[in-house]
Amino acid sequence: MSVTTEHNIDGGGNKKPIVLQVLPALETGGVERTAVDMAKAITAAGWTALVASQGGRMQYELERVGGEHIVMPLASKNPLQIHRNAANLTALVYDRGIDLIHARSRAPAWSALMAARRGKIPFVTTFHGTYGLKGPFKKLYNSVMTRGDRVIANSNFIADRVRTDYGVGLGDDAGRLIAVPRGIETTRFFNPAAVSAERIIQLAEKWRLTDGLPVIMLPGRLTRWKGQAVLIEALKHYGQNDVICVLVGDDQGRTKYREELEAMVRDLDLESVVRFVGNCTDMAAAYMLADVVVSASTDPEAFGRVAVEAQAMGRPVIATDHGGARETILPGKTGWLVPPGDALELASALRKAVHLDPGVRAEMASAGRAHVMEEYKVELMTARTMFIYRELLGFPEAKSAAEAEKT
- Going residue by residue through the chain, which has 407 residues, state the pLDDT in tens, using 9 for 90 and above: 455 554 445 544 467 999 999 999 998 778 999 999 999 999 999 999 999 999 998 999 999 999 999 999 999 999 999 999 999 999 999 999 999 999 999 999 999 999 999 999 999 999 998 888 787 788 889 999 999 999 999 999 999 999 999 999 888 888 999 999 999 999 999 999 999 999 999 999 999 998 889 999 999 989 999 999 999 999 999 988 889 999 999 887 889 999 999 999 999 999 999 999 999 989 999 999 999 999 999 999 988 899 999 999 999 999 999 999 999 999 999 999 999 999 999 999 999 999 999 999 999 999 999 999 999 999 999 999 999 999 999 998 765 555 555 55
Q: Select from 296, 302, 308 the least CA-distant residue to 334.
A: 308
Bridge partner list, 363: none
Give all domains of the chain, ordered by start, each with its CATH number. Answer: 18-183+377-406 (3.40.50.2000), 192-375 (3.40.50.2000)
Alpha-carbon distance values, 338 to 274, 296, 344, 374, 385 (Å): 21, 9, 10, 25, 32
Sequence-ordered strand ranges (E) for 41-160: 48-53, 68-71, 100-103, 123-127, 150-153
At 177, is the secondary structure helix, strand, or coil? Answer: strand
Specify the pLDDT at position 11: 44
Q: What is the pTM of this model?
A: 0.85
394: left (phi over 0), alpha (psi -120 to 50) or beta: left
The rounded distance, in Å, linking the Cα atoms of 334 and 305 is 15
Specify the pLDDT at position 396: 83
Q: Select from 123, 80, 117 the least CA-distant residue to 101.
A: 123
